[in-house]
Amino acid sequence: MVTTIQINENVKRALERMKTGKETYEETLVRMMNYLEKQKRKQEELMIEGCKEMAEDNIKISKEFELIENPEDWEW
């Protein structure tokens, strides 16, 4: 089923500039949606990777604190 949507002239001009070759407006919009979804997945993966690295750093710091927690082990 084909649905008609109303857009402002400035939006139509912007879509026209984003088209590649003889691409239709629908193809342009689908390409943009696919691009945005891909970028969203990449950002999510980067956030997960960053959190994992921070967790590793936190573990290292915790282990360092464990070494100094016992005052009997300190040199006076």
CB within 8 Å of 19: residues ≥ 6 apart: 25, 27, 28
User: What pLDDT sits at residue 67?
Assistant: 75
Q: What's the whole-model pTM score? A: 0.67
The Cα 22–Cα 17 span in angstroms is 12
Asked if residue 73 has pLDDT above 70, the reply is no
Rounded (5°) CA angle 23-32-49: 145
What value does the mean pLDDT take over residues 25-53? 97
The residue extents of the domains of the chain are: 25-68
